[in-house]
Amino acid sequence: MLINSEWSGKPSFRAIPVSEASPYVECIFDPESKVFVVISKQKRNTLQMLPKLDEYGQPVTGTKGMKQERHKLEVFQEYYISDVESIKEFINLVVVNKEFNYLSFINS
């Protein structure tokens, strides 16, 4: 289902799931870059650098600033759609309220 939203202080729209069968967690349109981001339910593992924490949960600092360590994280797979026609096709394929005026956000 498409809803009005805001992204980085600008009017936008999002798609939210209305049933458990939905293939995505959320979709977000970035009005600045004109990219539609689909956050799917599929998960993947990725390595990321995170601040190193002491036994009290505080970041450890050294002579060169905050220390970091690599962690394996499970994240949702993201897909980026930048082609306007592809965005329209995706929305027409999965959205239940097709009458929502999402084109006003894409064309502005």
Q: What is the pTM of this model?
A: 0.76
19-72 per-position pLDDT tens digit: 988 889 999 999 999 999 999 999 999 999 999 999 999 999 988 889 999 999
For residues 106 and 84, is the Cβ–Cβ distance under 8 A?
yes
| 9 pLDDT more than 80 | yes
Question: What is the percent of the chain with per-residue pLDDT over 70, rounded to a whole number?
Answer: 100
Q: What is the 3-state secondary structure (H, E, C) of the chain?
A: CEEEEEECCEEEEEECCCCCCCCEEEEEEECCCCEEEEEEEEEEEEEEEEECECCCCCECEECCEECEEEEEEEEEEEEEECCHHHHHHHHHHHCCCCCCCCHHHHHC
